[in-house]
Structure 1
């Protein structure tokens, strides 16, 4: 059984491998056309052979174009037993595709046959056909443009024939010319051509869908001849503005009449080409003039058959030539400086600048300075003082020499000599000289012209001190004597000090030179003042610095800024004017570290000084105690004020101390004590008209405990008070007039002064005290009361009062009081008055 299973698997695999091949031999596809136009329809049929035993009579034939199934197939059974399926594709939109005939085999499609479909367009007409007769290769070369791609393989053929009557009559045909692959040009050899005879030429394009041809070209091969360019040669020319040329033609075109064109342009610069046309070819020479001297030029030439038709040759290879030099045509502006070496010799430094008088003034190769002593002929001038290529020269002259000659030269000769006359400074000076900086690279220098007006000015400028004198000196001459200033732009740099000198020149003399210093732009100072600590305290620090001396070329400081930072990185700053040289920092914390630095600012920028670190002094221990004590005292005062406000509120029912009425507005005589456990007193009406006014009433509370630290031993008037008292002072009657008559003695019961000792709430008796006074307290005329008039009051009216013995230490007599001694004692006139209580 195992062997049978193995054979079954092998047989099935062989059937699967052999089955597709056998199915492919069963069908065949035929097309209505293998190549069609893009977008045209195509019809295909697939026929299944009747001998194909693997397919049943009802097998369905399917069509695929590429990878997509195509609907619309019509299947039929033919009489000979074959099956046929036909499909029409309405549009072929791909230039190449595959059409397949398939049947279903199991769950998949099996291809029976395949066919390739090609689609494209007929060939477009070639255009722009042109031909040239090349005498070098001795062939007719034609080229064209094939037009748009047809997507099909297209063959091009260059066809031609000999003809007469302007190509109306065809005579002998010429061998077709087939171009190389992917090329659009073809050459007809000279042996197939007949010169000076017309021929008709066209291009034919052919592919599977059709044929097209270009427009016909009728020409004579010699009418389209293209000559080779000539070869240029240079000849020597004695004129500085001209170039002498010659050229040589190719041998094949020597017997052809032609004309040539020459173009040239300067080798340097952006000038365009200049054209010289209609040069005859038989002369083979030409002189080109009107050029710049000492200038390199590039030249090219081309030729064409003339007067018969033809084509221009290519431009010849470039030829580079330089025109000859001419003697310089310049004006030399001169300036000089003299220094007396001794009594017989003068050191002269001569400066000059060439100013071209014409556009092509000639190249200058050097300069010569001559001096001809008086009384000698011109031969002495051949010994130059200087021969240099620079624009200055230094030489020695005798003191009597007043003039030298300066010339510029090159290989073509020398310029006209320029006399240099050493003038004396006898002319008037400039009225005023000033400068103004326009931008960092220019300085305006102005002046007021003197009277008479000069005919020229010499302006010199160069770096000022500390640069060495005469280094990098610049100068120029202004020939317009009416101007009042000029702009200096050469070699002007910012942040540099320049010394500017202006000298007026007159006809036979010159004025004295005037100097001025100027900057085009100032720079920030190189360093700032160094910051120092002068004094320091607990909450302040005094800083100082020494301002720097002004520097040349450096912008002065406009202000200072002090920055300081504490240990918590809190930053502070203040701005000071430029005249400041010190500052005191206030509001610092004691015993704290600070970082301070100074920044100096000018119009050109800002720069920082070195940083300074300082620490304020710490507070002493005594100062700490004082501060803590003040803080505690302030806190106590606040608490006391709060407590007093709380306790004195009128809405409280139980005050901390008894409420005492105003005695000055009460009738004290009607206050009678009652004998109860808790004493209750009836106060008289404040509106009692019989109540005498009380000038001063003092209530003293006597404590049984020992005096505390806040107790006082002071006395009122002449009374000594041994215990702590609490005083209430009431002045006058608010309803009484401001001036009250003094009561008469013996007729008034008023008490004008009195003191009561004791507490109204204490169980013991109180003390009533009368003190010495200048006012009569009783009816007598004595200024002070007697000792017996000070009585001891009992707490009960039934008890007999005991007299109070006078105290030797005090001037007052203490005696027992009633429960409310203030109200009772003031009604007492003597001992006999006690019975009334």
Structure 2
């Protein structure tokens, strides 16, 4: 509903002030028909008075049927100034509805009038009118069938009139009989009736859509009299009379006091209680005797009996059936055939043996009598004594002891009415031919077919035994039956057959005076699923894995073979995983587990017949150790450091860089040192802390010699006065200067004629006096010849030349013992000495 704004609210208030005292005086709905046939249309008009149209004289009149707005109305102004709207509604599909008309004021529908619409059907014609007079009260009660519902209030009236000449001439009407609401019967009291005069009766139905009448019924009240039902009683037998016959019942009845002197006939019906049978009607029975004997019933059976009566020979109605009387028929002696079977077992006493006797009653008639028990007896032959009772039981078998020479016993059934004909049980020897072949087939889970090939000669019958096979005890809860037809080759066993069980079936042929040997066979009714799954065991467990194993269950009889295993594991968060394994698997390793986590594991064994689950196994994976954690973190840090170090080395040692941090030093054993020249020839100052003494002169020159890359000539050992030829000196790298001076100056290159000695010379050219020689103190021989290296105090070259005298840098042939090692020394091979500046001072 839309809310009213400030303007609309003021307008609505003004309209209300201008309206008459009651809104009901503003509008008025007129219907063409207040009640219509269900499915017919309805025409309605709504007029709005002039007093209600002060504010808006052109307001539209709106229609609403229940909760739905209706369109299509035609609106017009009447001569008196009022507005009228006429609308034709669609066919009504419901028995009742409410119609509203009103005006739309400020987005709000103001209802001015409403009317109720009703729809239904005319009343159908009542039928099946019948009446009866109660012989006790003499009131006439009539009942009828009203027909289908009309969806409208319908009134029924029972009308009657006295008639003459077989209902041809009306005489005087009787007061109408109005039934109670919702009932379709009505009773006319005795005071309005003439019991021996005809009257006509009919039922009239009326509603707003019409009226209907039933077919008139002409009757005389005395002709429709209805008796009260009789009362049934059991007839007690006379003590001195004959006993009751089996299958018979004796009963009597008493009529009501109101019909005590009325001639009547009755009907008796009976029904057995233990079976769902229909009623059986016996009659007519006349009231002169008031007793009856009912025979031909089942012995020892409870019956329900009922009786009803009617006037005879006068016309009238049957009374209602009386209350039920329950009686039980007398017993009769059993009329049966007893099929028997036995087993004899030897005992410790060689003279006697235990006999297991089984029997099965076969009724010979429809009602063979109830059986209360069985008696097994033996009468010693040649003795005039009473039979010895071996067992008296209500079961279908018993065990007793007999001497081995006894070959026959008697068996009979009994009840309160007598005993059955005795059955002779003869213990036959097994001397007949056996069955040729025995085979079985499982038809379904609840039956087994057993077949055989009949022997020759053909037996007169067979005994078939079946029961659960091993490991069940032999003979426990076994079933058996006898087949008297010796020509059959098989039978279907359906008694006590359960699915998925192993059964042992035994068949024995029976001959006229003997029996054949028994043969047995095992068969399954149907295979079943495994009874249980193997139990899981934890073998090993780690941080992220677990090794599980199990021992397969031994094969079971009647169990379907396994097809596969399925292992399931679930963590604490409910996340499940599974793995399917072959039936031959014996263990499984669960991978991808979380460390220090709880898991629930179970195993499922499946076969074609079903599955079985093992009990759940709970396990906890190992947690990461502190040492392991440190090792992992340390290894990660070392790996990161190694990567950074390799990156730095590659960055600084890249060949195309102009200013490396250190010079490239090749391996002397695997490179040519002759091609190596320091990139910067700047004089460097070497400091020797071990020689930094006040009395010792600083190092002024360090000479590094490099000879040509050529094979030296042979060097033979000589004395100290002989000379060897020296190779050509090609390069000299000289670093000189005071180690304490702030800067070094390049020295002029000496000429090739200056003398040179392989070693280190200590001293300064500005300081007078002789220099000092410091040789290399390596123990490796410097000479390739067999001449040993000089001692630390020996200096053959300096001894051969006076101090301060420059010698030629080209050694003589006699000096090869001194300079010969330059040809073979690994570090000096290929060095070329270009200058020996500063040696002149030495």
The alpha-carbon distance between structure 1 residues 204 and 548, as it changes in their structure 2 partners (threshold 3 A), is closer
The 3-state SS of whatever aligns with 2:370 is coil
Unaligned runs of 5+ in 1: 1-35, 40-71, 76-94, 96-121, 649-653, 659-702, 715-724, 728-754, 775-786, 820-837
SS at match of 1:222: helix
In structure 2, the residue corresponding to 1:301 is in which secondary structure? strand
1:291 maps to 2:297: yes
Structure 1 length as normaliser, TM-score?
0.56
Matched, 1:792 2:729: yes
In structure 1, what is the Cα distance between the partners aligned to 2:553 and 2:414? 56
What residue number does 1:735 align with? none
Shift of 1:607: 0.6
Q: What corresponds to 1:461 in structure 2?
A: 467
2: CA distance between counterparts of 1:573 and 1:193? 95
Per-residue Cα deviation, 1:56-78 (whole angstroms, up to 9, x for no partner): xxxxxxxxxxxxxxxx9999xxx
1:431-830 → structure 2 map (5 Å cutoff): 442=446, 444=448, 446=450, 448-449=452-453, 451-452=455-456, 455-462=461-468, 464-465=470-471, 470-479=475-484, 482-484=488-490, 486-490=492-496, 492=498, 500-507=504-511, 508-514=514-520, 516=522, 522=528, 524-525=530-531, 528-529=534-535, 531-533=537-539, 576-581=581-586, 599=603, 601-603=605-607, 604-608=611-615, 610-613=617-620, 615=622, 631=639, 635=643, 639=647, 712=667, 714=669, 726=671, 756-759=674-677, 761=679, 763=681, 767-771=707-711, 790-793=727-730, 802-803=809-810, 806-808=819-821, 810-811=823-824, 817=832
Alignment size in residue pairs? 596
Q: Does 1:326 align with 2:332?
A: yes
Quickly say closer, same or farther: Cα 1:630–1:511, change in 2 above 3 A.
farther
Contact in 1 for aligned 2:127/2:145 (Cα 8 Å) = yes
CA deviations on 1:96-132 (whole Å, 9 max, x unpaired) are xxxxxxxxxxxxxxxxxxxxxxxxxx99999876543
* Contact 1:162/1:170 (<8 A) preserved: yes
Per-residue deviation at 1:791? 2.6
Distance 2:543 2:823 in 1: 56
Unaligned runs of 5+ in 2: 1-32, 37-76, 81-95, 97-121, 238-242, 682-703, 715-723, 733-747, 754-808, 835-842
Match of 1:371 in 2: 378
Query: Does the residue aligned with 2:345 lie in a helix, a strand or coil?
Result: strand
Contact conserved, 2:134 with 2:227, CA < 8 A, in 1? yes
Whole-Å separation in 2 of the counterparts to 1:334 and 1:414? 17
SS at match of 2:605: strand
Larger displacement relative to structure 2 (429-438 or 510-519): 429-438
In structure 2, the CA distance between the partners of 1:473 and 1:632, relative to structure 1 (3 Å rule), is same
Paired with 1:485 and 1:211, the residues of 2 have a C-alpha distance of: 74
Q: For 1:407, which of 406, 409, 412 is the aligned residue?
A: 412
Distance 2:145 2:493 in 1: 65
Number of the residue aligned with 1:300: 306
CA RMSD of aligned residues (A): 5.9
2:277 corresponds to which residue? Answer: 271
Q: What does the per-residue CA deviation read over 1:549-593, in whole Å, with 9 as the maximum and x for residues that have no partner?
A: 56677777665566778999998766555555556778999x977
Deviates more, 1:355-364 or 1:792-801: 792-801
SS in 2 for 1:771: coil
Q: Which structure's relative contact order is higher, taking Cα pairs within 8 Å and 6+ residues apart?
A: 2
* Counterpart-to-counterpart distance in 1, 2:359 and 2:252: 43
**For the structure 1 residues 563 and 370, does the alpha-carbon distance in structure 2 shift closer, same or farther, using more than 3 Å as the test?**
closer
1:564, 1:192 → 2: CA distance?
Answer: 93
Match of 2:190 in 1: 189
Distance of aligned partners of 1:540 and 1:285 in 2 relative to their CA distance in 1, 3 Å threshold: closer
Q: 1:297, CA displacement in angstroms?
A: 1.9
Deviations 1:673-717 (A, max 9, x none): xxxxxxxxxxxxxxxxxxxxxxxxxxxxxx998x98xx7563xxx
In the aligned structure 2, how far is the partner of 1:758 from the partner of 1:588?
62
1:609 and 1:206 mapped to 2: Cα distance? 79
Q: Which residue number in structure 2 is paired with residue 694 of structure 1?
A: none
Q: Name the SS of the counterpart of 2:222 in structure 1.
A: helix
Work out the CA distance in 2 between the residues paired with 1:571 and 1:181: 72
Partners of 1:577 and 1:643 lie apart in 2 by 58
In 1, Cα distance between the equivalents of 2:139 and 2:179? 16
CA shift in 2, pair 1:627/1:241, >3 Å = same
State TM-score, norm by structure 2.
Answer: 0.55
Give the conservation status (yes or no) of the 8 Å contact 1:447–1:484: yes
Residues 123/528 of structure 1: CA separation in 2 closer, same or farther (3 Å cut): closer
In the other structure, the counterpart of 2:220 is 220
Contact 2:375-2:389 at 8 Å conserved across structures:
yes
Q: Which residue of 2 aligns with 1:416?
A: 421
Residue pair 1:261, 1:302 contacting (<8 A) in 2 also: yes
1:500 and 1:250, CA in 2 relative to 1: closer, same or farther beyond 3 A? Answer: same
Measured in 2, the distance between the counterparts of 1:343 and 1:258 equals 79
C-alpha change, 1:772 and 1:504, in structure 2 (3 Å) is farther
Contact between 1:443 and 1:520, CA under 8 Å: does it hold in 2?
A: no
Match of 1:355 in 2: 362
Matched residues in 2 for 1:388 and 1:338: separation?
A: 19
Distance 1:588 1:391, change over 3 A: closer
Shift of 1:193: 3.3
